[in-house]
Amino acid sequence: MNGALFLGKRAMLQTTLAGVTLPTPLVLASGIIGTSATLLTRAAALGAGAVTAKSAGPELRKGHRNPICFDWGEGLINAVGLPNPGATHEADLLAAAKQALAPSRVALIASIFAGTPEQFAAVAQIVLQANPDILELNISCPNVHDDFGEPFAASCAGAASVAAAVKPLCRAAGVPMFIKLAPNVPNIGRIAADAVAAGADGITAINTMPGMVIDIESARPILTNRSGGLSGPMLRPIAVRCVYEIAEAVPGTPIIGTGGVTSGADAIEMLMAGATAVGVGSAIYYRGLEAMQQISEEMTLWLQSHGVASLDDIRGMAHR
């Protein structure tokens, strides 16, 4: 491939997310490959525009016992349980990843969780020392209810309370703050609007959908945690609907559309629904870490075959 053609393809996919320039609109979703600098830089080399680290909490957490993930035929179900080394150790891992990613200009998104708005702020203060490009607040994990109670993403007040607690820290650090929302709510648009009003710079939509799979021979749920989060292709129509409704509720707010994207066509659909960037998670299971590069190439071919010069020409097209 000659240099001009290569640069032209890169320019076609370049995206700006809350003021952060991404070489491609594809964002590695949180929890897929952890916070290893080696693995995150590999994802960057294979087509990611941004990479999201594993969610970190206030302290060391081992997560749930196996089995924690199962391919049930139509997608995946998992209840990993948010294992992480704690905020202080995570900040060291993030700093190493940030340094390793610098030559690629691929953005680093840190992800955090906690049990109260005050704990979110405490974790954010530690993690922000690593200077991530974006901070994502995971307020919607569906498989740790026994530990934290109802997710903050379940209500407008809950989402707004976390956003308000962390926003001053992100503002002082100059780091955009995204809120990760859940699909199983009555009105995700209203929750997104309240989060934005409370200070969120962007929305990540969506987290996995709660579900359960039972082994009919043992008559027991397959996962140790009993219930878990559904992901994979079956989740995509739900994610597309959520992204569409959020784009209607908070026009102009950056959205990372995440859920079941495994091909370039899927990514194009998510952008048409109103996403600014596209999260990729379970595609890594189905297509390997090379999924990022493959999806980028498929997107480029679609854009060229339809005479589209840039992603801006199709972003939010379903609303017009």
How far is Cα of residue 65 from the mean position of the Cα atoms in its chain? Answer: 24
The DSSP line for 237-283 is HHHHHHHHHHHHHSTT--EEEESS--SHHHHHHHHHHT-SEEEE-TH
Evaluate whether 63 touches 223 at the Cβ level (below 8 Å): no
- Which strands sit side by side in the sheet containing 76-78, from one edge to the other? 69-71, 76-78, 228-231, 209-211
Evaluate whether 282 touches 262 at the Cβ level (below 8 Å): yes
Query: What residues have CB less than 8 Å from 173, skipping those under 6 apart?
Result: 128, 131
Please identify every residue annotated as catalytic.
Answer: 141
Evaluate whether 299 touches 13 at the Cβ level (below 8 Å): yes
Give the number of other Cβ atoms within 10 Å of residue 320's Cβ. Answer: 5
Evaluate whether 51 touches 132 at the Cβ level (below 8 Å): no
